[in-house]
Structure 1
Amino acid sequence: MFVRVAVGAVVATRNRRLPHPVLSVMTANRRPRPAPNDRELRLWKVGRALTWAFAAAVLVSGGIFYGLVVLLDFKEIDTTTKLDAKTLFDLVKLSFGVVAGAGALVALVVAYRRQRVDEAGAHREATRLHAERFSQAVDKLGSDSPAVRLGGVHALSGLADDAPTQDLRQTCIDVLCAYLQLPFTPDPGNSDPAHQERHHRYLALRKVRHTILRLISDHYRRPMGTHRSWQGCDLDLSGVTIDCTMDFSEAVFPRGTVNFSGAVFPGGALHFNRAVFCGGAVYFGDAVFSGSAVYFSGAAFSGGTMHFTDAVFSGGTVYFSGAVFSGGTVHFSDAVFSGGTAHFSDAVFCGSTVHFRDALFRGGAVYFRGAVFSGGTVHFRDAVFSGGTMNFRGAVFSGSTVHFRGVTGPVPEGLLSAVGIPVPATVALAAAWLPERT
């Protein structure tokens, strides 16, 4: 019953356009969308429509007539002093033709208006049916039965696919995200027979959560513009515990906001292999990677912004191997690498601005082996290297501006040999790392 009330509150809150803590980040970053019924208000009155239609018809006819005169190179028009029978008959035919054309123009304008009215009526009917289905799906999502909730999840997913407007689709996605952000009772364990029923209920409700996460990633992998694609929609998974596999491989993020801020990744895997980040914003700020494997292998960062600010990498593995940073901005500022492994091996930095400012490397391993710095800017200013492994073996510095000034700690393995002597003007090393002059 608690879930039903909470989800209903989120839905009602969104419909009233009031702030809600669950949707605060997404609402703040969402661009305003036109109201879904705006197109119904753009019909002109009949008199105005006919006036403009006749004026346009006269202008077009006059233009065509003048063009034919010029094209056929007429010098002058013969005139006669008498109105013979043939000329009179031609004038009568011309009069009837003008009247018939005017009638056809009126019929065209009326038919156009009727078509627009029919389309508006169909739109209102589709919106009404959507509202009815939405209410039924949310009611299922708030059921006490996990099986009924699972049905509500699939109903909302299908409703988002069939939504008549982007705004209504976004509402369905928001409700699914809000369900994931609701608090849940942790697993009591299966060792005590008295807790077995609670353990089984926990597993059933976890299945509901995992189904939502799977459906979200499945829809984001579908190419934009195709049926059932959610690319370009906002996605707010801030604070959510993601302990299963989500696959965004080859997804395109051209706009909108995808928010994993404060999310916890204790296990499973998150795939962004060969994904394209060409606009919008993706947030992993304050996220905790404590056991998952996160893959950005072969991903292309060509625009927009990606934030790992204050993220904590305390376990698991994060792969940026072979990623191409050719545009936009990627922030690892104040991130903490205290365990696990982060791979930037063979990554190409050729145009983006990548920030590792004030990042803390005190454990685990971070690899830049074979990375190519050929453009853009990479900042390690004021970062702290206090433990673990930092490896730049085989890296190529051929054009990027790379800053290590203010860095605390020993020089990373292989960095000086990769930079070369003399140090290129585009690479600024910490003072303690500079080779001694002889």
Structure 2
Amino acid sequence: MPRELVLANGLRVLVVERPGTGLVAVDLRYRAGSRHEPRGRTGLAHLTEHLMFAPGHMTELEGLGAVYDADTWFEHTAYHTLVRPQHLERVLRLEAARMRESPRRLGAQREVVRAEVLQRVFAFPYGTHLPHLLPLCHPFGHTPAGIEEDLDAITLRDCVAFHRNWYVPGNAVLAVVGDVPTATAIELAALAFTPVPPGRTELIAPELPGRYVTGEAPPRLTVPEPQPLPAVYQAFRLPPEGGAEIEAADLALRVLAAGEGSRLHRRLAEEGAQSVEVDVHRFAVASSLAIVKVHAAPGSDLAAMERAVTDEIAELAAGGFRAGELARAKAMATRAALERVETVGGLAAELTLEAVQTGEAGRALTAARRIAAVTEPAALAAVWRLGAPAGVLTYLPKES
């Protein structure tokens, strides 16, 4: 388990010593994502993340030989740095400066963000699926990519206000993992971050829209886009992150749609499907979301493939698991969980993620045990709870 302490200003610090790695990972995660954006300012969290990489900051990190990155998601923004242990103190002071100092200019970052969104969302096959699906069926309503006209409207004042409101010690979790003594890591973190003022003590996120109610006919959208193949994507709402129910639901969905041994892959491959996939997005303050993706050969009957998904869910709910199905799903999930924490950087990121989403950083090290503890009745109950899709997206490819 990680060693933990909370500084006087509210910053939570997590340390795991990994001798012999020759590296140390620093991960700082804020509860500040796209769900915290005010109305009409979608994309603000992502743009603010970009502004927090001042040119001098990046130049200094590169001079230390550090690898650095950041990401903005619905419920949080994280900054990741991997460096040699002798440079840990400097990296921590740079992170403290990022927390303390608001952005000073927009510069070209609006266009950098716009280009990144175009590359990752609109130029990537089916990268538009979350922007299409969320307004149909989830309270978050939009993705961290935001809406282009909102991005155009964002001002430096908006970014400064977002930073001052959310980039405060009590709204953040710091993890230090790697080849440094625990006592040293704690001392350096305290020296770097204790001078940072605590900031606001009450943080109030914008109210989420009311819960969507799924009737017999789910909301649906058909989009003509220049995609490689026709496809049908079905979204299902799942329990929030943090409890046993989401683990059971994740395993049930792997039985249905993960890998070539899944029920849907075996069934739909005979009907012209080129691939079947499932993504599970775990959220803490709203329903988690599963998206079952079926990519079909040109001319395939997409309506029949859509029905096959719901038929297989009903068949699994009625007949239970076949021999070996749940064990296969557990093996896949366990491997994925272990991969996420096998490096110092991966473990640091998982520690801060669990701390922000569930409050329990140690869950990052117990995923395999939680997966093993899921019983067949619990996984079957998760299938029953899937119900009808919350939203359906159909892609009809067209020439670009």
TM-score when scaled to structure 1? 0.21
Higher-Rg member (1/2) = 1
TM-score when scaled to structure 2? 0.22
Task: Give 1 or 2: higher helix fraction.
Answer: 2
